Amino acid sequence: MAQQNESRYSIDADWNELYVGGEWREASNGETIAVEDPSTRETVAHVPAGTEEDVDAAYEAAVEAQTEWEQAPPAAHEEVIQDLLHALEQHSEEIIDLLAHEAGGTRGMGETSIHLAADQAAEAATLPRRMKGEHVSSNIPGKENVVQREPQGVVTVITPWNFPLNLTMRAVAPAIAAGNAVILKPATNTPIVGGLLFARLFEETDLPDGVINVVTGRGSEIGDRVASHPDSDVVAFTGSTEVGRRLAAAAGENLAVPAMELGGNNAHIVTDDADVDAAVDAAVFGSFVHQGQVCISINRHLVHEDVYDEYVEKLTERAANLPAGSAHEEVAVGPIIDESQRDEMLEYVERTVEAGATLETGAETVPVDGVDDSLVVAPTVLSDVENDMAAACNEHFGPIAPVIPVSDADEAVELANATEYGLSGSVHAGDVGAGKRIAQRLETGMVHVNDQPINDEAHVPFSGTGASGLGGYNSEDFLDEVTEKKWISLQHEPREFPF
């Protein structure tokens, strides 16, 4: 039996069926989509190319299953999520391997993804017992006011390709824990780890058929139907601001709740009295982990002119010595997800150098044995950058570190806030108090002092401002998104009316 379970989670397993109503089925048109390993550029799997007909079938199954699931006791909801957590941990090594093949994730990225997903599941398991209502006093004699919390109904989850495991878990697990049914549409690049994997994990629990449904397919073909489906009560999306705006508009047509975590342009501020070595340590991780393909990674380094040269020199040395290559090797930096992403980020670098910045290191692809067109981009450091240059004003989403000199904390704050985004950020200052005072002036949903911006804890709110999103994830913030409150008043004594 153990061998059978292992084979079901291998990249070599059959992943060519959708999961609808508790059954595995082919796409209605019988077509599939190839999944490419970003390291080797080889096709490693095929998944169904779902259609609008498949989407409709998934929502029909979810609506039918949700009412019964909602009425199950909190202990049953909790047990399912605990069993999900157990299945995740049991198959962690296979999932790490899936992440390497599908998302180009290094070993470190895979281990981090497992840790974060487990944290999300553990937090979600506490939610069924926290769905508490309240009694509210009434201004009317003899009236009792009861406010109770109920699930929204059907939650649509559209997940990204960069961290598909944990960013899917943070939406799916709490939605189901709160009594909702889920339609899961994973990114086209990562349809297994961000989608079909979850169906198999939930099969190891007692979750009733139809509560989770997974439809893979091209966003251009079924994305709008998923987001705008009349049976969808919540649309939870993580991805680019451009796509998020469109999906939020589609959800709004049916008055579905949009929970959107979108793009970022996060600043790493280093003051004149900061510990430069510590700031660089944080910067190397915050810029280059998972090739910079993180919405909360460092997009700009705003460094005081008094320590600027030292910072650039040390950051460049560290970047130039980071091992980069295939995610199947022991490297710190693996491949970019696909060539369109790679080409876009390298274009940002080229335009930035043309505008007057200095290329300190990187801006080239790293050869990978047996691959004609490598997706591995060398860690890149740019100095003499200005805030409006291409690699700084755009979310480059790559292993690129544009370093901008600033004269004081006021200029750093001004430049950090000169963007439509407001997701995360970090500050390195001489003491925590000074860093906190700068952090309080930054127009972002999250800021980390004497650290870097990539932080995520399931019991702490995660949200952005401006073009970085709507609503919030983690803890009770996402519980508020996937539930609604109902006011029930009880008139215990006859009430007098004016006519």
The C-alpha atoms of residue 61 and residue 65 are separated, in whole angstroms, by: 6
> Cα separations (Å) of 246 from 224, 241, 253, 284?
8, 9, 11, 34
Q: Which two tokens stand for residue 404?
A: 């901008």
- The one catalytic residue among 295, 360, 395, 481: 295
261 is catalytic: yes
Where is 183: in which H helix or E strand?
strand 181-185
User: Residue 486 in 3-state DSSP?
Assistant: strand
* C-alpha separations of 219 from 49, 90, 395 in Å: 10, 31, 21
Q: Given the DSSP bridges, would you call strands 143-151 and 134-136 parallel, antiparallel or unpaired?
A: antiparallel
**Active site residue: 17, 36, 261, 360, which one?**
261
Q: At 467, phi and psi to the nearest 5?
A: -75, 5
CA distances from 103 to 11, 33, 44, 165 (A): 12, 15, 12, 10
Q: Measured between alpha carbons, how far is 372 from 364 in angstroms, rounded to an integer?
A: 14
Q: 10 Å Cβ neighbour count for 137? A: 7
Burial of 159 (0-12, 13-18, 19+ CB in 10 A): buried
Catalytic site residue 64? Answer: no
End-to-end CA distance of the chain: 73
With contact defined as beta carbons under 8 Å apart, do 467 and 241 qualify? yes
Question: Residue 165 corresponds to which tokens in the numbers above?
Answer: 């495991």
What residues are labeled active site?
261, 295
